[in-house]
Each structure stands twice: as C-alpha cells, then as structure tokens.
Amino acid sequence: MKHAVSRMVRLAAQGAVLSIATIAAATTYANETSIQRYVTKYCLDCHGSDSPEGDVVLAELHTTTNVGLLFGTFDQSALHNMPPEDAEQPSSAERAEFLRSLDAYLKAKGHDRTSQPGNGNLIDHALLFTEPTVRKAATPSRIWRLDVDSFIERARKVTNNQSLFYDNRNNAKPVSLPYQTPDHTFLDFAAVHSFDGSTTEMLLLESDLIVNQFMSRQWSRYEKQARGDQHQLWSSIFSAMTGQLPEPGQLESLVELHSKSKDNLGEAVANRLTVKAILLRPHVLFRFELGAGEPDPYGRRYLSPTETAVALGYAVDVAGPDAKLTSAIEPLDLDDRQTLRSIMRPYLKTDAMQARLLRFAHEYFEYPRAEEVFKDADKYDYQPERLVDDADQFILKIIDEDQDVLRNWLTSRDYYVRGMFNYTGTKLSPIRRENGYKDYHRNYNLAPELIGKNPEWFELPPAERAGILTHPAWLLAFSDNEKNQAIQRGRWVTTKLLGGMVPDAPVEVDARLPEDESLTLREKMHVTKASQCIHCHRHMDPLGLPFEQYDLFGQFRTEEKEKPVVTTGTLWGNEVPGPIPYVTQLAQSRQTKQVFLRHVFRFFMGRNETIDDAPTLIDMETAYDQSHGSLKATVLSLLTSDSFLYRVSEPAMDNAS
C-alpha cells in the first residue's frame, strides 16, 4: 500500500510538471504566432530579407535571440514610430496585442523591458486611463534598499547629530548607498539598488562613524533609562535604529551577543559590537514589502501593519514613520480606506511632506542640474545655486497654495528674486556693479534699480515668462558653457510632459553641431534633418526650439548673432510661435496632466506603472480634478490605493536588461 501511494504521488507530480510545461509551451507558441502575424502584415514590406531598410531584418523576429533587435522593435512600436506614418497602420487592439506578446516573449528570456527606470513611457498611455473589466492593481513583492537621504536622516536621528555626514560644503552623502538609476529618471527606484562588495566595505566604515557618534552622544542616555535592564536597553536601541520593535527571538539574540562579547572582549567592546550589529541588520538598510495574510482571488496580499507603516512613513517623510503613525496603522483594517485617509491627511501638511514634494519637483523638472553646468563666470554674474534657490521658492509657493499645481508650475509669472547684497550684506552701489560685481538679476531681465536689499516676488511680463520652463534655473540646467541645449529641452518635454521616448543616439553617430560661429543654434541644427537623424530629432527639435527666446544664461532676448531670434516650434502637429503660447498649450492639455500623474506615481511607488495600475491612475486623476488641482489630494489617493497597499508574488526578473 505504501509503495502504491508513493507511486501515485510521483505520477501526480510528473503530471503537474508536464501540465505546466505544456501550458508554457502553448503560451510561447501563442506569443510567437502573434508576433509573426503582426510583423508579416505591417513590417516585412520594408524589413524583409531582401534589401531591408536600415539593414534591419524582422522576418524571424518571433524566434530571434537578438535582444537588441527585440528591444528596438518594442520601443519603436510602443512609441508609434513604426510602421511609419505613410504606411498602413495597425489598429489600437492589434498594436496592443503585438506589444503584449513581444513583452511576454522578452520576459520569458529574462528581460522585463517596461519595468526598467526610464522605460515607463513604453506602457500604452490610453490603456492606463481606461477602466478595466476587473480592478486588480498591486505591486510585486519587493525588498527596497533604503534611500541615501533616509539613511542619513535615520543616522542623524539615532546619533542626535544633525551635522553627521556633512563636509565643509554641507553636501556629503554616504558613498555606500550610491544611486544607480539612469539620467533623467527618479533616483529612488526600488528594483535597481543593491550592495556589492565595494559598497558593503564602505558601509562598514560608515557604520563605524555612526557607532562612534552614538556611543559618545547617546549611549549614556539609553543606559541610564534602562537602569541595568539589558532587555529594555537593547529593545530601546533596536527600536530607535530600525523603527520597529524587536521580535522576542531578535531581542534574545542581541542580549546573548552582548553577554558573550562582554565575557570575551570586555564591556566597552561588547557595547559597540552589539550596537553595530543592530545598525547592520537588513531592516535598517532595506524596506521589506512582502505582504501578509491570505491572498485574494487575484493573488494579492495586503502589506502587514509594520510594512504599511514603513511604506507610508517613507512616502511622506524622508526619515520614515513616527511612533504615532505606526501605532495608528497597527490595528487598522486596510479595507477601511476612509479611516486610512483620515490618518494620513495630517501628514500631508507637514514640513517633511513639503520637502518630499520639493524633491519630486527637483527630480521631475531637473532644474537643480543648473548647478552642474559650467560657464565662464566673467561673462555674467553666473551664480546658478542662487537661481536654483529662487526656483525652489517658486515651486514651494505653489505647493503651499496646492491649487492647479501643474498649471501654475507651467504658467505662473510670479517669480521669487533674492535681494541685491555685497559680501557684507549691504546694498550695492552702482559703482560696485560697474566695477564688475556679479549681478545675476539680469537673468530675469530685471533692471538693477528695481532690486532692493530683501528678496521680493515679481510678476514678470506676460510676453517674457511663464512658469518653471522659462525660469533661468531650468533654462540653465539644459545648456552648456557655449550654447543652449535645445535638443535636450525638447527631449525633456517629450518624455516628461507628452509621455514619449527618444532612444539614445547610436555610438557611431557624430552628434556634433557645426562650429561656424556666424550661425544661430537653429541654423546649426539643420544637420539633424539628415535621414539618419530626423527619425528621432523630430520628437525633440520642434519641442525645444521655442526656448531659443532665451540666451544661454536664461535671459529673454529678441536677437541672436545680430539676427532676429526665431522661436517657432511644433506641438501636436501645429506650429507654435514662441515659448509662452507653447507652455500655455501644454498646461491646458489633459494628456500633459495625465503624463504628469504617471510621474507622480513613479516617484512615490519607486517603480513604473503597469496596465493593472490603470484604476489607481484613474482615481488619481479624479482626485486631482475634484480637488481643483491639489497635488496633496492626488498623493493621498495614491497612498491609499490598491497599487500602494497590495503586494503580489511575481517571478524574479533579470535586471540586466
């Protein structure tokens, strides 16, 4: 009987394996068939085996192992660049089916194309704002490395030393937690960051610094409060460093480690060793979001109470959850979204949340990059850090008002301008200015006599300025020492406001512009109209050239190279005469608003959106519209959504792509 049962179990297991293999094979065949059908109908006229355009052959795309070819085909199809405009076009359903099949084919080979930072715009925009038949939004279970700023804030809080990690320029960051995301993407992306050998070695050194500060500044306080109770001592230190109470087994292991170390190494060494052991625990360096409890019919599990508090805490405060939030979340049923919203609303009004939204604006608009742009300082008063500070005040004022946030960020003419000071804080005289004192106010086209000692808000002329995209800080961020970067400005608009993508220039392409100094930038850019360039540059150049209204210091101008400056561009197939009507049209567009909301999602979720997140994005747009453009109401909708609160198991993907 025993052998018969064993044989039945083996046969059942073999049958299950065969069934899984059969399903997988059938799925692969269906994907390959879908790819082949689409390519045959829409691609082979140009990319067949005989004289293919660009030497790109797609005849065997459904079986190829050329990942670069698969990526290129996916990107060009997702961005509606292929088939070309003059060819027969697939229906939306046909294109969507092809992309789903190609995406599944890539994932089967270990390449999750659309999950990578910088690739979020490859997801079909229309589907993201179309109500699905079933709402089943969730985030894959994950372990998220702590953001470097969160690590700093936690270390400062634990050591009670707000200057920890500062250097003489007040800008040092621990090198053990480097950002590894590509340019022009949000920095804190969950699936990207990890520790390798070199960063782990640096982490050990930096942890010594934290331990030294803790022992000298905080140890005696914890020791006194514990009154000799080792369990209370190590429980308190554990909670301070991890933001969580220790499990009984964790606490016992710490007490035992301290006891044994004290016997072998002495009390002073044991104290330091045990503190360091806590500091290097995974929960100090990582955010665990695995989900708990029984899954629902779609395989989704709610975050555990601790995971929920940590996720929400870091969303609204770089320092993570406080004790009040943790205790409020502990008994909460996450089905009760109304109560959850009431818990979170006060946190949206804090200075910490304001700082989070300012960081979002930094990484979204990218204007702090102005500080990295070198220019010959003797040409003008080039003080980019001051301009960035002024732009921060512009952004923060609109965050505080919290009405029509995106529209105001893109169109407001109320600019904050610092006062005019010399090195000792007194108002400058005309002689000092004439003698060459650096005066950056000309970047705003403001006359010196208009500038007082103190910072002021100026309503700038409607024909000259409109929003952050005409602010000198943003303009400087997309320039270099000698010229504006109209192409990069256009690329920013394409990706951040229109939801498109532009592939990087191939390495064999000579991307230099002519050096003829008699030519304007627009005239130099005629080289981008070449056949090998225009396919990508048509998505950038017309969108960046309206900003030629401003010189390479962000100053409004009407001439370039002693010629009338030409500021025309193209938006949605229509000509725009200059930057002001251009950004005004962008600000009034629903598509622009929706693409903006997708970026809000990415920043707070630490990942790209997926088609399953459509209900969350739809609800975010509803919250934004019903609150008259409140960014905080939009974030609240996201933080209480299924995408934020549910986790679902998903096979690990190879991030090498």
Residue 11 has pLDDT above 60, yes or no: no
Residue 106 has pLDDT above 80, yes or no: yes
Mean pLDDT of 596-604: 98
pLDDT band at 652 (very low <50, low <70, confident <90, very high): very low
Pick from 188-197, 270-279, 379-388, 465-474: least confident: 379-388
Confidence (pTM): 0.88
| C-alpha dihedral (262, 267, 273, 278), degrees to nearest 10 | 90
pLDDT band at 78 (very low <50, low <70, confident <90, very high): confident
Residue 169 has pLDDT above 70, yes or no: no
pLDDT score, position 29: 57
Phi first, then psi: give them for residue 11, nearest 5 degrees: -65, -40
Distance CA 604, CA 312 (A): 10
- In tens, the pLDDT along 468-486 reads 999 999 999 999 988 999 9
Residue 2 has pLDDT above 70, yes or no: no
pLDDT band at 18 (very low <50, low <70, confident <90, very high): very low
| DSSP-assigned states of every residue in 181-225 | PPTTS-S--TTT----HHHHHHHHHHHHHHHHHHHHHTHHHHHHH
pLDDT score, position 283: 80
Percent of the chain with pLDDT over 90: 55
Pick from 170-184, 277-291, 383-397: least confident: 170-184
User: 18 vs 375, which has greater pLDDT?
Assistant: 375
Residue 200 has pLDDT above 50, yes or no: yes
Mean pLDDT of 510-519: 86
| The token pair that represents 41 in the structure block | 């109908």
pLDDT score, position 27: 58
pLDDT band at 159 (very low <50, low <70, confident <90, very high): very high
Mean pLDDT of 44-49: 84
- In tens, the pLDDT along 414-442 reads 999 887 654 444 554 444 443 334 566 88
pLDDT score, position 430: 46
- In tens, the pLDDT along 216-243 reads 999 999 999 999 999 999 999 998 888 7
Q: How far are the Cα atoms of 6, 18, 22, 130 from residue 13, in angstroms, in the given order?
A: 11, 9, 14, 41
Residue 493 has pLDDT above 90, yes or no: yes
User: 11 vs 327, which has greater pLDDT?
Assistant: 327
pLDDT band at 377 (very low <50, low <70, confident <90, very high): low
pLDDT score, position 508: 67
Residue 90 near residue 83 (C-beta atoms within 8 A): yes
Task: Please give the single-letter amino acid code of residue 171.
Answer: N
pLDDT score, position 57: 87
Q: Is 381 left (phi over 0), alpha (psi -120 to 50) or beta?
A: beta
| The token pair that represents 86 in the structure block | 């003059």
pLDDT score, position 9: 41
The mean of the pLDDT values for the chain is: 86
Mean pLDDT of 311-324: 93
- In tens, the pLDDT along 51-76 reads 788 788 888 887 888 888 888 888 78
Residue 609 has pLDDT above 50, yes or no: yes
pLDDT score, position 656: 28
The strand ranges marked E within 290-378 are 300-302
pLDDT score, position 26: 54
Pick from 393-407, 426-440, 506-520: least confident: 426-440
Angle at 376 between CA 375 and CA 379, to 5 degrees: 115
pLDDT band at 507 (very low <50, low <70, confident <90, very high): low
Rg (CA), the chain: 28
Query: In sequence order, what are the beta bridge partners of 417?
Result: 456
